Amino acid sequence: MNILITGGCGFLGLRLARALLAHGALSLAGAAPQPIARLVLADRFAPPADLVADPRVVHLAGDLHALLASAELVKADTALVFHLAAAVSGECEADLDLGLHSNLDATLGLLQACRRLGTAPVFVFSSSVAVFGSTSEQPLPAVIEDHTLPTPQNSYGIQKFIGEQLVTDFSRRGLVQGRNVRLMTVAVRPGKPNAAASSFLSGMLREPLAGQRANVPVAADTLVALSSPTRTVQGLLRAAQASAAEWGARTAVNLPALTTSVGAMAQALADIAGPAATALLDWVPDTRVAAIVTAWPSRVHSARANALGLLADASFNDILHEYVQENPAAVQLPLLET
């Protein structure tokens, strides 16, 4: 089986790649398991040494639009595409053209490349909870369902929703087997901050644990819908494995979410690293970030994902413990809990 991951050397892309390689084989769209012969990671950045050393891994470096012009990106035997590459929310709000180019044009170009194969590969599109947004004129319901009408309130959410519709239409026409998956905010992400409006939801844990100051731009009682990296990758894999009957409607599936408050996240930090960690948090409001984040839903019901066997994380403390266990070199403060 030949698999393509766009954004394959990003945080989620690398976790997904390692999970696929560890499995060794995959049951695609309900079919019998097939061995993974080739895993293409398309990204501007290079993969780490462990993936470079795996003979099944091929890295294609460069801009996705440039790679689409290459016959190497979507080859005749490509059976599965995970489309993770995207410009993030803060970037899209600051630069409309960047978002349109990276999120809209690239998604359509990738779908067209799959269309030309004539084999209807499985196409897993990483959409976002940002397709939902609340305004005073059109407030969101208390709980988001799989069938809730998306009402995005920023360019990133709008571009993701358009991407969902493109995947749905290509699926309706039998050109791909589309799987639109709405990801929740993923935390805790290791590494450096990015330009996503939600980036602080990782930074407010990651930076203090490394002994660095971090800003929290929203109020402590702000509710958010989160998912751990592990649960998120499980959702992407399950989307690829599900048969058409299991998947059901062509519309997007909301991945399970843990609802928590930003204050509870700070408390989890205190639980694991004490007051020395929370003393490094600067609660300085940023109205731009707050306007984006507080418009997103915080309570999401994931009936379709639950039917596929996917569950939300049990607690944010569990999520934070996972980060600490996986990234011991990034933790510089003494821990109260391990």
- Which of 82, 123, 156, 296 does the annotation list as catalytic? 156
Indicate whether 123 pLDDT > 70: yes
Q: Classify the C-alpha dihedral 77-79-83-85 as positive or negative.
A: negative
Model confidence at 196, in pLDDT bands (50, 70, 90)?
A: confident
CB atoms within 10 A of CB 324: 18
DSSP 164-182: HHHHHHHHHTTSSEEEEEE
Model confidence at 337, in pLDDT bands (50, 70, 90)?
A: low
Give the span between the Cα atoms of 197 and 155, in whole angstroms.
Answer: 12
Indicate whether 194 pLDDT > 90: no
* Domains in the chain with CATH codes: 2-184+228-254 (3.40.50.720)
Does residue 156 have an active-site annotation?
Answer: yes
pLDDT above 70 coverage of the chain, percent: 99
Residue 338 has what pLDDT? Answer: 59
Taking residues 298-308, report their average pLDDT: 97
Model confidence at 96, in pLDDT bands (50, 70, 90)?
A: very high
Indicate whether 176 pLDDT > 70: yes
Give the span between the Cα atoms of 295 and 297, in whole angstroms.
Answer: 7
CB atoms within 10 A of CB 194: 16
Confidence (pTM): 0.94
Residue 197 has what pLDDT? Answer: 82
Q: What does the buried/exposed string (b/e) look like for 127-143 if buried means 16 or more CB atoms within 10 Å of the residue's CB?
A: bbbbbbbbeeeeebeee
pLDDT above 90 coverage of the chain, percent: 91
Residue 195 has what pLDDT? Answer: 78
